A and B are shown apart, each in its own frame.
Chain A
Amino acid sequence: MALPKLSPSSQTSAVILTSTGSIATTGNGAANTSHYPFGIYADSTSALFDANFVSGASDQVAFTYKKLGGDILDVELTVGNIYASYEEAALEYSYQINIHQAKNVLSDLLGMSTGTFDHDGQMTGGDASGSSVNLSFPRFEFGYAKRVTDGVAVAAGAGGNQTMYSASFNTVALTQDYDLQTIISGASANNLDAATSGSVPFAGLVGNKKVRIERVFYRTPQSMWRFYGYYGGLNVVGNLNYYGQFSDDTTFEIIPSWHNKLQAMAYEDHMWTRLSHFSYEIHNNKLRIFPIPDGHVKSFWVQFSIDTDGWTEDSDRKHGVDGINNMNTLPFDNVPYQNINAIGKQWIRNYALALSKEVLGQVRGKFGSIPIPGESVTLNASDLLSQAKDEQSALKEELKTVLDEMTYKALAEKDAAMIAAIDTVQQEIPMLIYQG
């Protein structure tokens, strides 16, 4: 008697990976957003929704099925696991690319517009919103260097981004000490300069804040008039004093403007330090004038800045204090799927496969061994987990290495090395002697 054929179907809801995915919006389809933890690329309501991502996720099922031998033995994964791994891989790739680009451009973007971000990392507001900054090749702006230069310039009294104010006060005969904090904060509070009685641009700004005195002077210097005026004209070298180009028997040398300017500065310095009638000292808030004023000079001026917190933005203009300060505030969204090229797409596939292996390893490894009738069996969980870990590490390391070799700085160094190498080669080429 022949044996009967009987292959009963299992009544248990077994979890077996199907050989292919689909792009359906329901059930096991890759467009069904319930399969994705974040749905950044697969949710049709998301700004980064991409039908190509859905197709890619669907194809990834067949790729994983084949790579894990699903056509021979069961793979205890759902298509949802594969879709989720694919999304994670795309986001990991986006993360790595954004990190790389941050290394490239952060110094140039410091102080520029940042924005606000939602839970997916997508920009929801800010001047840079929607501008895909992470996909741009920005101008070289020396953001950090400029900021340092501003600070140095302020300290050197040579410009910078800090407002300099001046205030004046009248001297009192035989009074040597003057409280500058009282004078300046009073002018600020009353919007009234102590000497000129005019309004002041620093009204309401001082209070008890520290003011930093940069210069004290008692009269508008006439040095520029002396230098540029009278006979001596621009671009003319004389003896720096009283004759100009119309003097007799003099040879004039034509010089560039910057040379003339430097001479003017030297001259002005000479006027300030050697011709002034007064000198001063400042101790705490007190300005002490030497010698004791006798009333001959009516007013003194102080040029000052108001110390503010480094993170306080001016009300009338922006210095970028509220802008990009480090990697965290870079206006970088997730990289759109459509802007990932073939190199990235293959990386995503391989990384998603490694992630799927990890999930499968977790499933198969929940128990040390699985009981079977009369025995127990140990599955390949540890192999899968170690493979998954190694593959993920290798993929990330490879990507990081390649990207680090392609930072703008590295590219410049390579170009320089190549030029140097070409130079060396050129030096070895014999110079031919031509006979005419």
Chain B
Amino acid sequence: MSNEWNQPSAPPPPLFLGKKERDLVKQVNDELIERVIGQTIAYYPIDIERTNFHDLYGEALAKTFLPPVRVNALIEFDGITTKYSSNIGLDKESSITIHFHKRRLTEDQDLYVREGDFVLYGDILYEIVTLSEPKQLFGQIDHKLEISAKCIRAREGLFDGS
């Protein structure tokens, strides 16, 4: 008996949530983030090629960066926390969480978010310390909606954007 059923080489596209729906989501997100909410940051990508890293620790006191890029994103300001360290004194920590719209970032701005890059939000420079992609679009594994970046305030001398 011949095999009546042939397995397709690729799974069929989603029945109800295809490209048009994904494009609509992107369109609404673009409009909402850029024209309605309007929060912006300046993104400073570190130039790995031209930065002189320490061979052992991988750190560089002087960092070379590519031209900063203005990016619209949703930014959660986590506040400023005062912290006391014994023998040192008071320290103020500030952190933000940046929710990037992934498609806007990667498709339209050709920008990729990396740990160790810096962002300017308001007049404070932050360093990206943690990245995650917490949300899929319509539960589709190939389509991530956002990149979430946890950032902490860059200490003086670490990076000044100049």
Within 8 A of A (CB), among B13-46: 21, 23-33, 35-36, 40, 42
Nearest-neighbor residue (CB-CB) of A379 within chain B: B28
The smallest beta-carbon distance between A173 and chain B, in angstroms, is: 90
How many whole Å from A119's CB to the nearest CB in chain B?
29
Query: How many angstroms between the C-alpha atoms of A9 and B108 in the bound complex?
Result: 6
Is A328 among interface residues, defined by CB-CB distance under 8 A? no
A14 contact set on B, CB distance < 8 A: 23, 26-27, 30
Residue in contact with A6 in the complex, picked from B27, B69, B101, B161, CB distance below 8 Å: B69
Sorting the interface of chain A by its residue count into under 10, 10 to 19, 20 to 34 or 35 or more gives 20 to 34
A202-210, A229-237, A369-377 - the one binding chain B: A369-377
The smallest C-beta distance from A239 to any residue of chain B, in angstroms, reads 99
Contact A3 B70 (CB under 8 A): yes
Classify chain B's interface size.
Answer: 35 or more
User: Closest residue to B28 on the A side, CB-wise?
Assistant: A370
Closest-by-CB residue of B relative to A366 is: B21
Indicate which residue in A3, A16, A76, A377 contacts B32 across the interface (CB closer than 8 Å): A377
A363 to B20 CA separation, bound complex (whole angstroms): 11
Decide if B146 touches A374 in the complex (CB within 8 Å). Answer: yes
Please tell me if B126 contacts chain A, counting CB pairs below 8 Å.
Answer: no
Known: A6-B70, A373-B29, A373-B145. A1 touches B161 (CB 8 A): yes
Q: Cβ of A10 < 8 Å from any Cβ of B?
A: yes
A74 at the interface (CB under 8 A from B): yes
Partner of A377, one of B28, B67, B73: B28
List CB contacts (< 8 Å) of B95-115 with chain A: 97, 99-104, 107-109
Report if B137 contacts A (CB, 8 A).
Answer: yes
Known: A8-B108, A372-B32. A15 touches B24 (CB 8 A): yes
Chain B residue contacts of A76, Cβ below 8 A: 24, 27-28
A11 contacts partner chain B, Cβ-Cβ < 8 Å = yes
| 0/1 string, A1-25, CB within 8 A of B gives 1 | 1011110111111111000000000
Q: When chains A and B are docked, how far (Å) is the Cα of A373 from the Cα of B36? A: 14
Q: What residues of chain A have their CB less than 8 Å away from a CB belonging to chain B?
A: 1, 3-6, 8-16, 73-74, 76, 363, 366-367, 370-375, 377, 379
